[in-house]
Amino acid sequence: MSDLDLLHFEQLKNEVQSQYLDNHTPSFDDISKWKGIDIIYFQEDLRKIAKGNMSEKSFYTYFKNSPVTKLPRIDMLNILSIYAGYVSWYDFKKKHLFANEILKEFEDSDENIQEKLEKEVEKAENIAEEHQNEQKRSIPIQKENLKPELITDLQISATDNQLISEKAPVFSTYDTSEQKSTLTIVKKYIWLGISGILAVLVGLLGFKDELFSKKFYYSFIDADRNSRINAELQVQILKENESPILYNAKPNEAFVYTTKSKNLTMVVSSPYYRTDTIRRNLETAPEAETIELKPNDYAIMLFYYSKSIKDLKRKRESLNYLISDNALIYQVYENETYGVETMDKQRYINLVTLPSTSLENLEVIDTKDDKSNKIIMIKFKIATDEKQK
């Protein structure tokens, strides 16, 4: 990579910006100041024109910093060049040559030739190494063939001269002094009994929690629909003088809690259900129980409106009625540059009514409403499932 390539990339960024400004009106003309909904609109336009995609992380890496110190991958350079109206990255550089700049027209062919030469050299080295290994293996084989001949020559062929050793018979007598007395046998069994008792005590101490603990099963259902909740729930176990312990209850599965305590206090929460605090006396409570949770209708409606692309006019009217004019709306980002961004009511409505594939990953984190049943707070994020490059 040369400095001229970096200069060409800065030129390409300016032409990409100009191409987008011809048909769109973002919050800022300078592409380095775009964020949030402006980036989403740009990603949609890039997919539409160049048939390619740029992740939010790549946008922050190459468009938020100027000048850049490294180039994107060649496929990303080609996509941006096509978006700006060129055939490829090579075509863009060819039409923006600097003074005394010469492009290698057959640089791809040169790379292929170099790769072939490297493979040929590697192949020749492997053949030479195999030949040396074959020569090394042939030497032990010759030595092994000589061993039987040496052994046969050294063997004693005259059987008369060989020495024969005979073992004298051993006669054992019955010694009555070696008999164990009755007292010794009794002591042995006493020690075995004591060892067994100690082993049982150690086992009880090691597994006392499992032996004296009890399992409780809690299933959660929708209070309005009387059906299992098909969403992940957060369960906080509260203990006196201790910090809360957080568990996740999986969708359509019972939450299992093992304890030896006599009382239980747990707080169950979810973005789509009202938070509920449940207290139980475990001495009289059943082992299995079904608990009803009241749905958070506002959060469910916001989720439904973000997923549906039908009847956008009615959806905008409903959102305008549900959300307070002074509502606090937060978008949480999954990158290191921006953590949280606030937006007004109208901008949020424009975002969730935009027919974009990015809204498939929109998640409502939390909502709050006032006494007049108006939503006064929304916290959401647009999760990214793109692989990090």
CATH number of this structure's domain 210-293, picked from the four choices 2.60.40.10, 2.30.30.60, 2.40.50.140, 2.60.120.380: 2.60.40.10
In angstroms, the CA 62 to CA 219 distance is 49
Q: What digits encode the pLDDT tens for the residues 194-253?
A: 988 988 888 777 666 666 788 899 999 988 888 888 778 889 899 888 889 989 888 888
Which sign does the torsion angle of CA 302, 304, 308, 312 carry? negative
32, two tokens: 């380095």
Nearest partner of 261 among 291, 281, 233, 289, judged by Cα: 281
pLDDT at 332: 87
Q: What mean pLDDT comes out for the span 42-59? A: 91
| Banded model confidence at residue 119, pLDDT cuts 50, 70, 90 | low
Q: CA torsion, points 355, 358, 359, 364, in degrees to nearest 10? A: -160
Res 139 pLDDT > 50:
no
Measured CA to CA in angstroms, residue 351 lies from 311, 314, 345 at distances of: 15, 15, 10
pLDDT in tens, 295-329: 877 677 777 666 665 667 787 888 888 899 989 99
Higher pLDDT, residue 338 or 315: 315
Max mean pLDDT among 1-10, 73-82, 223-232, 378-387 falls in: 73-82
Peptide bond into 67 cis (omega under 30): yes
User: At which residue do the structure tokens 């493979």 appear?
Assistant: 119
* Spans of all domains in the chain: 3-94, 210-293, 297-382
State residue 291's pLDDT score: 92
Give the predicted TM-score (pTM) of the model: 0.41
Greater confidence, 82 or 165? 82
